[in-house]
Chains A and B, each alone.
Chain A
Amino acid sequence: MAFTVDEAKLWLINLNKIYQQEKMYLSELDQAIGDGDHGINMARGFNELNKKLETAEYHTTADLFKDAGMVLLSKVGGASGPLYGTAFIKAGGALKDKEEVTKEELAAALFESLEGLKLRGKARLEDKTMLDVWIPAIEFLQNHPKVDWDEFKKLVKEKMEGTKKLEAKKGRASYLGIRSVGHIDPGAASSYLLFVELARVCEGVGL
């Protein structure tokens, strides 16, 4: 089986549920090293996206991702809005009009998302941002012809937790300098949730 527009939709609808559930947790992480709104931002953006998905019809994954990106861009609010927005718009752009997306094509599309994130935020590995999850996650997907999704989930969890020891160089947390050490980066945590849910959906269709 393959990843189609149905799986894309399922992924985003489930993500909305997860971000509503984890709203407090993500905001608490952001309270420690930022302005405490990351959970609120993600919950608001994905709630708007969910509303859109309930009514709009999409024929391709690309169209769905591009539209999702536009919603996140304007509704999330924080730095994570333009960042996640860009990620979905870029992935949509890479998938063109494909109806069935293979694992390779999905990995290639998410690689374009990552390139977009780098361009937008200008962060690098170990700057204590969501990129500390994104970079190893995409590398893993591209380097494994057949993905062991349990391994993948383990990896993103490790990388998310790994942001704890880092000093922030980008975003609000960078104003804290060395005092940002000892806390998980909120954007890394929301990206971890995003990838775990992607893994579940992919497992479900035997990708």
Chain B
Amino acid sequence: MTNVGIVLVSHSLELVKGLEELLNQIKQSVPIAIAGGTDENEIGTDVFKIKQAIQSVYSEKGVAVLFDLGSALINAELALEMLDDTKYIKIADAPLVEGAYAAVVQSGIGGTLVEVIGSAEETKNLQKIIR
């Protein structure tokens, strides 16, 4: 894979399914994987789902993980600990929707993992309405 992989983690499977659909319009060759809900697809997060999602888009180009709330971060960090080579995996401190959109764009134009994470995190300061 030549583009940074993107992993979307949410408490809701439907939420990341929808987000993936939205991103498919612009993704081109960017690998995207989702980890939503518990192992029974109820509201929550699941460390093994996250681990699997990361592995499914993994390459040395890197993987950027975006998450929604609370335990999503705890489980994403735990998933990283379970994986051996985490040099190329980073978690973005960013809002899920805007961050993922920016990350996919940056990855699509061939950005490095650091650039992809940077673009995602910049959306924290995005002003959506100019008043």
Contact = CB atoms under 8 A, between A and B. Distances in A.
Interface of A: 35, 37, 41, 73-75, 77-79, 81-83, 86, 120-121, 171-172
A79 B78 CA distance: 12
Nearest to B11: A35
A77 B47 contact: no
A90 to B, nearest CB: 12
22 contacts: A35-B43, A37-B43, A37-B44, A73-B47, A74-B46, A74-B47, A74-B48, A75-B39, A77-B38, A77-B42, A77-B46, A79-B74, A81-B75, A82-B47, A82-B71, A82-B74, A82-B75, A82-B78, A120-B74, A120-B77, A171-B70, A172-B69
Given A73-B47, A82-B47, A82-B74, 19 more contacts: A37-B44, A74-B39, A74-B46, A74-B47, A75-B39, A77-B38, A77-B42, A77-B45, A79-B70, A81-B71, A81-B75, A82-B71, A82-B78, A86-B78, A120-B77, A120-B78, A121-B74, A171-B70, A172-B70
Nearest to B44: A77
A78 B37 CA distance: 10
Contacts of A74: 39, 46-48
B71 A79 contact: yes
A35 B72 CA distance: 14
Nearest to A34: B70
Contacts, number: 39
A75 B38 CA distance: 8
Contacts of B47: 73-74, 82
A35 B12 CA distance: 13
Q: Which of B42, B71, B78 has the most CB of A within 10 A?
A: B71
Contacts of B71: 78-79, 81-82
Contacts of A75: 39
Interface string B20-50: 0000000000000000001100111111100
Contacts of B75: 81-82
Nearest to A86: B78
Contacts of B46: 74, 77
Nearest to A41: B44
Contacts of A82: 47, 71, 74-75, 78
Q: Which of B70, B75, B77, B78 has the most CB of A within 10 A?
A: B70
Contacts of A83: 74
Contacts of B39: 74-75
A79 B72 CA distance: 8
